[in-house]
Amino acid sequence: MNDLAGQVAVVTGASRGIGRGVALALAAAGATVAATARSAEDLESLEAEASAAGGRIVTVTADLADVGSIREAFDRIGRDLGRVDILVGNAGLGFNHDALDITEDDWDGMMAVNLKGLFFASQAAARLMAERGYGRIVHMSSQAGLVGIRRHAVYSASKGGVNMLTKVLALEWAPLGITVNAIAPTYIRTPGTAERLDQPEIAGDILARIPVGRFGTIDDVSAAVLYLASPAAGLVTGTILPLDGGWTAQ
């Protein structure tokens, strides 16, 4: 099911955390992975780590807040790798605001990456996929796009937009052989979140809301991506998959 040999995958926001783990998992499954981030320096160790494990990752600089940069990156990927079979739209911003304190810059900055950048990356990938009549697009959403979470007004709005965008693109692009789905994770332990999640008061409050009683892992997310990116998920499109340990079932 998870054999992706011969396929070309693009992962945005691949320099750290979930994006890095997903890129490595796709490479381990046999895909050639174009890993993107704003800084080429942040991607250097990723390419070497994949190579040491027998996989192939190439790095491409792209700023998801800049549509021109997105188009240039996909032009390069199409030219150098010849095709795109899989897109994992992972790049995103996440920070908390009290709703009364949100500024226009807060709103515009997050929406530029989480929603606008995601759309134009998906559009660029779909144009390449449509040439071959096959594609798998996986968006990274959040449980915060399914239920309200205090101090997440902008983030939740952006991820709710991701969910509806996923459904519309699934409808439009199904005739082109392209599936479009999203994953909506709960709190995932990464090097960037560990410090906060290791605080007993914060951890206790969050875990009380997760019926399975644990935080998510990067491997949990990677496993869901591998399924949705695989030929086995050919009948799955327009779906928002909660990867939340039961949070949104309540």
Other CB atoms within a 10 A radius of the CB of residue 82 amount to 11
202 torsion bin: left (phi>0), alpha (psi -120 to 50), beta (else) = alpha
Query: Could you give the dihedral angle defined by the CA atoms of residues 8, 117, 223 and 9, in that order, rounded to the nearest 10 degrees?
Result: 0
The DSSP line for 214-234 is S-EEHHHHHHHHHHHHSGGGT
Catalytic member of 134, 155, 187, 227: 155
Closest CA to 145 of 87, 191, 185, 118: 185
155 carries an active-site annotation: yes
Closest CA to 154 of 146, 163, 145: 145
Structure tokens at 34: 């174009």
* Residues 23, 225: Cα–Cα separation, whole Å: 10
Residue 86 pairs in a beta bridge with 9, 136
Closest CA to 176 of 130, 131, 138, 132: 130
Residue 240 pairs in a beta bridge with 182
Catalytic amino acids?
Answer: 155
